[in-house]
Amino acid sequence: MTSRLHAAGAAQADAFAADGAVHLRGLFTDWIDELAAGVAHNEAQPSEFFDDNGTTDDAGRFWDDYCNWSRIAEFERFAFRSGIADLAAGLMRSETVQLFHEHVLVKEAGASRQTPWHCDAPYYFVDCPQTVSIWIPLDPVPLESTLRLIRGSHLWEEPVHPLDWTTMTGFYGDDEKTHSGGFQPTPDPDTQSDRFELLEWACEPGDAVAFHYRTVHGARGSSNLRRAFSLRMVGGDARYVQRPGRTSPPFTGHGMLDGQRLREDWFPMMPLAGRVS
């Protein structure tokens, strides 16, 4: 498969900076078969991080897994040969792009389990203005089961307090109401629709929704199979942050300290083919 360059244009980078998310149509349609093979491989050989999010007795599971790119060749090829790093560089307006990890999220047909409203940054041990996750659906996604993002939430002063997706209790082992400062409670855009503007796009396979690690997002259940591959990258200003509790992914034994760059032997720099916009 040939490599394609996907440098983001200035208008897309402006929209990403202002809204915290953009929808990009048809960028990765050539890679659907490859990514779908990778997801099948992932399901057949799950990692220690595989999680069905408590949906074992459901009509359809909502399962996810991550940090498998170095053992699943399809994911590694996509990360390093699809041109996605150039897209990320353009959106973040960064001269460099570093791979944080990939994340597979599958809602089987009939999965009623919602993706809880959350923002990713507090689960991670990295934070910075230059962050992007690029969520790529491998199946058609109608509006009712697509990713839903709160416009501009990446600019909120306090990120949303992280919750454990299975127990819906504080992810750091704390309580949402009593947690120490620096976080705000999880919003509910469905009951507070006058306070939030949502970005939601029906998607075709190979579209991409790029969003900032601080953008608050969630999704409903899905009546159809909805496989998604999310690649998470950071730009040149990314720094390790010590969180008040565990992180996801855990990445134990890394030895990094507050304010350090992410170690490149674990989080590789991604070669860029194109000019940063």
Ligand X SMILES: O=C(O)CCC(=O)C(=O)O
What residues make contact with ligand X under the rule CB under 6 A?
A: 103, 105, 115, 120, 133, 135, 147, 217, 219, 228, 230
Give the DSSP letter string of 68-92: -TTT-HHHHHHHHHSSHHHHHHHHH
Tell me whether the omega of the peptide bond preceding residue 249 falls within 30 degrees of 0, making it cis: yes
Determine the Cα–Cα distance for residues 60 and 72; give it in Å rounded to an integer: 24
CB of 62: closest distance to ligand X in angstroms?
8
DSSP H or E segment with residue 148: strand 147-150
Of 124 and 172, which CB lies nearer to ligand X in the complex structure? 124
Of 8 and 219, which CB lies nearer to ligand X in the complex structure? 219
Contacts of 139 (CB under 8 A, 6+ apart): 205, 224, 225, 226, 227
Of 116 and 152, which CB lies nearer to ligand X in the complex structure? 116
CB atoms within 10 A of CB 256: 18
CB of 271: closest distance to ligand X in angstroms?
24
DSSP H or E segment with residue 21: strand 21-24
Determine the Cα–Cα distance for residues 36 and 138; give it in Å rounded to an integer: 7
How remote is the C-alpha of 98 from its chain's centroid?
A: 14
Of 23 and 217, which CB lies nearer to ligand X in the complex structure? 217
CB of 113: closest distance to ligand X in angstroms?
9
Of 31 and 135, which CB lies nearer to ligand X in the complex structure? 135
CB of 201: closest distance to ligand X in angstroms?
13
Q: Are 69 and 102 in contact (CB under 8 A)?
A: yes
CB of 138: closest distance to ligand X in angstroms?
11
Determine the Cα–Cα distance for residues 117 and 198; give it in Å rounded to an integer: 12
Determine the Cα–Cα distance for residues 31 and 194; give it in Å rounded to an integer: 39
Of 97 and 180, which CB lies nearer to ligand X in the complex structure? 97
Determine the Cα–Cα distance for residues 218 and 11; give it in Å rounded to an integer: 25
Of 112 and 277, which CB lies nearer to ligand X in the complex structure? 112
CB of 275: closest distance to ligand X in angstroms?
28
CB of 123: closest distance to ligand X in angstroms?
9
